[in-house]
Amino acid sequence: MAHTKLWVLLVLYVGALQYLPARTEEAKPEGEEECRLLGKFDLRGYVEAEHTDHVIGGMFPMHFRTILEEDPTSTPPMSPQCEGFNFRGYRWVKAMILAIRHINKDPDILPNITLGYQIYDTCYTMSKTVENSLAFLTGQNETTPVFRCSSGAPLAAVVGAGGSTLSIASSRILGLYYFPQVGYASSSLLLSDKYQFPTYLRTIPSDNVQSQGMAILVKHFGWKWVGTIAADDDYGKYGVKAFKEKIEKITRSGEICIAFSETIPKIYSRTKIQKVVETVKDTNATVIVVYSSDIDFHPLVEEFMISNISSKTWIASEAWVTSALIARPEYFPLLGGAIGFGVRRGHIPGLKEFLLDIHPGRDPNDDLAIEFWQSAFNCTWPNASIPYNTDNRKNVTGHENRVNFTSDHFCTGEENLEELNNTYLDVSELRITYNVYKAVYAVAHGLHQLDLCTEDGGPFTGTSSRCASIDEFEPWQLMYYMKNKMEFTVLNETVHIDEKGDVYTPYDILNWQMNGTNDIAFVNVGKFNSSGAEDYEFMVYNDSIFWNNPAAANPRSTCNDNCQPGFRKGIQQGKPSCCYDCIKCAEGQFSNVTDARECNPCPEDYWSNADRSGCLHKEVEFLAYEEALGTTLIVLAVFGACVVLSVTGVYIKHRNTALVKANDRELSFLIQFSLVITLMTSILFIGKPVDWSCQSRQVSLALGFSLCLSCVLGKTVMLLLTHLAKNSKVAEKARMVFLPIFQKIIVLLSVLTEVGICTAYLILRPPRMNKNTQFLNVKIIFECDEGSIIFLCVMFGFDVFLAIQCFLTAFIARKLPNNFNEAKFVTFGMLVFFIVWISFVPAYLSTRGKFKVAVEIFAILASSFGLLGCIFVPKCYIILLKPLRNTEEIVHGKAATNDKSAPPTSASCTSEVNNTTVSTVLED
Ligand code: TRP
């Protein structure tokens, strides 16, 4: 681009020079100005302008490059020489000449008008192209720009130039004069900008379409990690830019990333090329997009061959996909399987014959034909001034390394062109050639339209005539016809050029395969058609594609391996989004797809499995009836209840004995009843809790205990009072009357109080079943939420209060030799009760889940058994085994007992019992 501007400046500068008085030795008469030739262009090509009505200009890369001069300022400026004969470009030239011949012969288009041509070699360089453009404007080769001094046929329009950068450079100059230009190969998006290039039209679709196709192709094959290589020109750089933009547009952001972006230097530099090679070697991207002309890409391919790179899939742009320079069998290990976009192909009748119709002997001035012959047959034409130079490849380094080969044998002129296996004669893939043909027709069609103008329908105003004359028109007048909806038919194809100068022809998707004769075949594996907008037509036959990798399958191209289910992508700082770490999902989360962006939380009651690829129903935990612990506890409770019931049985059977009577039968039965309740309550703790079991378990336990303890309290209070009343007869009487009532009142009050508390608890903040999922993630613990802890404490606090009272009264009364030493056993019973419940607290607080419940049941069972053991077992012992002692006297302590063999009542009770007063009480 910068070069282009430079050249424009140069043109203007050269133009301005014309108006300066020339500094010559001789004095010129005043007012007379002199035109002076500043430099001579050395342009080569084909010109046929005589005896023609109009001339069409043409610019073609007949050579690959110019020879770089070492220090151009030390010598007069010389137009550079070109080197590296380009057979393909030469074929394009021939196609243009043929097209003009066809038009001249065609009675339907421009009858009576003969077209000529003025075709120059651009040598695929900017400087030559600018020279060409200036020459077109001035009409001939060796005069000054700006003025057209030529008297020959006027130049109507220009066809060319090949590469986009060249078209841009020339179009900037030609555009100044509103000179129509039709490109056949320049596809850069920039050229669609009519503000910058108002007179540029083309017969090749813009790279906007091609880039879209490449992006869709990459997406289609699921490639995520793609490298790009661009020629360092407007074609490569803008092509890759458009490709990246399309990738972003058609994929969710970050789905496809660019692994690297390299450029091929325009001027050969081995170090720069090697850098590109290193990048390709080091990358793990297997897919590489190359936006470059074959001429620029070629040295890089050579370097790739040296470093033995293989197993890459190349995405070829239209400029090299069918190029014979690149598509050589020796490059197949590297480039085989390449997939590329080829512009529409066509067949030009008579081209083959026309191409064959060339001989250097025919015209000694036809340098190009001579050079063609020399290059094609590897010989030297006698007396030729053109140095023979076949090896186009080695000669790319410019001046220092330039070698002009001279073949040791002369051409005979008898060489057989038909046997020549050369891209020049290959008319099987006429793509750009066909575009050249169409471009010439476009110009002819414009001229034809101009010629058809009728005076009243003419578009021009402000001129003497509404029509432009075909014999004498201005370039802008022709431009008018070429800009307005160009639509014409060439070789049965309708060409439509829109107001931006663009065409939308479908692309063939080509795949490089090896055919039977060890040649590269461009197999058509699909089609892409788009008008650049969202809607497009894309089709590939996956099965017919040859993949150049050991697996012979669509290669994977990703920055790293996919994340398996159970993992999610994790960003790597400073790396593209396609490169990521795989992070295992957290507990309770899962991902069931590959490359998940996020892990999803498992639904309620579910928990992730070990590899986090799914969710499992959470394990449910509660103390079940079926499990050993549950069954054991039930058995113990039932056993306890049976023992209590058998005690009741014993009591009923011996209800009239002194011991039973003395111990207040009703209270004893109530205690037994309450013990059955507490023991059976423990069963409510087992099994899956539900609301009612949660509510009933604590309440019935509290009530059971309050009944039990209040009865015990009644007993101990009575013992105490009995003793106090012993000394007076009146008191004795009162005792007999009031105490039983007093006892019942104590019991009733206590139970009623507890019932009150329980009712309030159940009404205000009742316990509920709770699914605890917080404590253990993998389990749902079914437990009871106690509702109000305060109520619970008050409820059991009341029991504790009763128990303390029992203990205190029993403790005071323990030494009174009365009533079968009841108080002492109650004291023990209460001690057992306290010990059990005090140790219960820490055990309860430190366990969770079903064991918490088990601890509570243990405490209930232990305390119940404690009370049972301490209160009833000694008595049953006497009732059943020592009936002799079951008399009024002994029971009421009126007779002394003397039985040393009194057995221990229970383990916990006896140890102390034996050392203290029990022995005396129990003695006969
Ligand atoms: N499209 C290329 C550009 O815009 C030019 C191009 C197409 C080309 N095919 C080619 C150049 C073949 C050289 C050889 O620059």
Ligand 1 pocket residue status of 235, Cβ below 6 Å: yes
Give the model confidence (pLDDT) of 623-634 as tens digits.
Answer: 888 888 899 999
What per-residue confidence (pLDDT) applies to 338?
A: 92
Give the model confidence (pLDDT) of 258-312 as tens digits.
Answer: 989 999 998 888 899 999 999 999 888 899 999 999 889 999 999 999 988 888 8
Give the model confidence (pLDDT) of 518-540 as tens digits.
Answer: 888 999 999 999 886 778 899 99
What is the DSSP-derived secondary structure letter of residue 665? H
Instruction: For residue 124, report the distance from its CA to the centre of ligand 1, in Å.
Output: 10
Instruction: For residue 462, report the distance from its CA to the centre of ligand 1, in Å.
Output: 41
Give the model confidence (pLDDT) of 69-99 as tens digits.
Answer: 776 677 777 778 888 899 999 999 999 999 9
What per-residue confidence (pLDDT) applies to 241?
A: 94
Give the model confidence (pLDDT) of 177-218 as tens digits.
Answer: 888 999 999 999 999 998 999 999 999 999 999 999 999 999
As a whole number, mean pLDDT of residues 554-577 equals 86
What per-residue confidence (pLDDT) applies to 366?
A: 85
Give the model confidence (pLDDT) of 312-338 as tens digits.
Answer: 899 999 999 998 889 889 999 888 899
Ligand 1 pocket residue status of 205, Cβ below 6 Å: no
The whole-angstrom separation of Cα 572 and Cα 582 is 10
The candidate with the shortest Cα–Cα distance to 374, out of 384, 388, 361, is 388
Displacement of CA 542 from its chain's centroid (Å): 24
Which numbered atom of ligand 1 lies nearest the CA of 89?
14
The candidate with the shortest Cα–Cα distance to 127, out of 188, 67, 181, is 67
Least confident of 25-39, 395-409, 459-473, 793-807: 395-409
Backbone phi and psi for residue 53, each to the nearest 5 degrees, phi listed first: -90, -40
Give the model confidence (pLDDT) of 587-633 as tens digits.
Answer: 889 998 888 888 999 888 888 888 888 888 888 888 888 888 899 99
Mapping DSSP to helix (H, G, I), strand (E, B) and coil, where does residue 758 land? helix
Residue 153: pLDDT band by 50, 70, 90 thresholds?
A: low
Instruction: Tell me the HSE value of 282 on the side-chain side, using a 13 A CA sphere.
Output: 9
Could you tell me which residues come within 8 angstroms of residue 573 by beta carbon, excluding any fewer than 6 positions away?
A: none
Ligand 1 pocket residue status of 188, Cβ below 6 Å: yes
CA distances to 206, 396, 515 from 164, in Å: 10, 21, 33
CA distances to 62, 187, 236, 267, 439 from 166, in Å: 14, 11, 13, 15, 17
Residue 689: pLDDT band by 50, 70, 90 thresholds?
A: confident
Ligand 1 pocket residue status of 173, Cβ below 6 Å: no
Ligand 1 pocket residue status of 294, Cβ below 6 Å: yes
- Token reading at 504: 């939308």
Ligand 1 pocket residue status of 486, Cβ below 6 Å: no
The candidate with the shortest Cα–Cα distance to 299, out of 333, 262, 280, 274, is 274
Task: Report the chain's mean pLDDT, rounded to a whole number.
Answer: 81
Q: At residue 726, does pLDDT exceed 70?
A: no
Q: At residue 659, does pLDDT exceed 70?
A: yes
Displacement of CA 300 from its chain's centroid (Å): 32
Structural domains of the chain sorted by starting position, each given as residue range(s) with its CATH number in brackets: 207-342+506-544 (3.40.50.2300), 567-617 (no CATH), 628-891 (1.20.1070.10)
The answer to whether residues 358 and 369 touch, using CB atoms and an 8 Å cutoff, is yes
CA distances to 122, 371, 406, 865 from 385, in Å: 20, 9, 11, 128
Ligand 1 pocket residue status of 555, Cβ below 6 Å: no
What per-residue confidence (pLDDT) applies to 317?
A: 93
Mapping DSSP to helix (H, G, I), strand (E, B) and coil, where does residue 509 land? strand
Amino acid at 795: M
Ligand 1 pocket residue status of 163, Cβ below 6 Å: yes
Pocket probe mutation, ligand 1, options 125, 290, 318, max atoms within 8 Å of Cβ: 318
What per-residue confidence (pLDDT) applies to 420?
A: 83
- Token reading at 513: 């395969």
Ligand 1, atom 15: closest residue by C-alpha:
163
Ligand 1 pocket residue status of 432, Cβ below 6 Å: yes
The whole-angstrom separation of Cα 165 and Cα 122 is 12
The candidate with the shortest Cα–Cα distance to 190, out of 249, 139, 241, is 241
Could you tell me which residues come within 8 angstroms of residue 862 by beta carbon, excluding any fewer than 6 positions away?
A: 832, 836
Q: At residue 644, does pLDDT exceed 60?
A: yes
What per-residue confidence (pLDDT) applies to 893?
A: 55
The whole-angstrom separation of Cα 613 and Cα 590 is 5
Q: How many CB atoms lie within 10 A of CB 352?
A: 15
Ligand 1 pocket residue status of 169, Cβ below 6 Å: no
The candidate with the shortest Cα–Cα distance to 39, out of 1, 80, 82, 76, is 76
Instruction: For residue 164, report the distance from its CA to the centre of ligand 1, in Å.
Output: 7
Give the model confidence (pLDDT) of 888-922 as tens digits.
Answer: 666 665 544 444 333 333 333 333 333 333 333 33
Higher-pLDDT residue of 5 and 586 is 586
pTM over 0.85, yes/no: no
Mapping DSSP to helix (H, G, I), strand (E, B) and coil, where does residue 587 land? coil
Ligand 1 pocket residue status of 799, Cβ below 6 Å: no
Q: At residue 249, does pLDDT exceed 90?
A: no
The whole-angstrom separation of Cα 292 and Cα 305 is 18
CA dihedral 23, 25, 31, 37 (to 10 degrees): -50
Residue 513: pLDDT band by 50, 70, 90 thresholds?
A: very high
> Which contiguous run of DSSP H or E holds residue 289?
strand 287-291
Instruction: For residue 206, report the distance from its CA to the centre of ligand 1, in Å.
Output: 12
Integer-rounded Cα radius of gyration of the chain: 55
Ligand 1 pocket residue status of 908, Cβ below 6 Å: no
The whole-angstrom separation of Cα 885 and Cα 897 is 8
Give the model confidence (pLDDT) of 855-872 as tens digits.
Answer: 988 998 998 998 888 888
Instruction: For residue 293, report the distance from its CA to the centre of ligand 1, in Å.
Output: 5
Q: Assess whether the previous peptide bond of 319 is cis (omega < 30° from 0).
A: no
Q: At residue 408, does pLDDT exceed 70?
A: no
Angle (CA) 417 159 295, round 5°: 60
Ligand 1, atom 5: closest residue by C-alpha:
163
Residue 735: pLDDT band by 50, 70, 90 thresholds?
A: low
Higher-pLDDT residue of 915 and 760 is 760
Q: At residue 389, does pLDDT exceed 60?
A: no
Pocket probe mutation, ligand 1, options 235, 435, 503, max atoms within 8 Å of Cβ: 235
Ligand 1, atom 12: closest residue by C-alpha:
319
Ligand 1 pocket residue status of 162, Cβ below 6 Å: yes
What per-residue confidence (pLDDT) applies to 139?
A: 62
The candidate with the shortest Cα–Cα distance to 661, out of 860, 854, 875, is 875
The whole-angstrom separation of Cα 162 and Cα 181 is 12
Higher-pLDDT residue of 403 and 39 is 39
The whole-angstrom separation of Cα 507 and Cα 344 is 6
Mapping DSSP to helix (H, G, I), strand (E, B) and coil, where does residue 828 land? helix
What percentage of the chain reaches a pLDDT higher than 90? 24
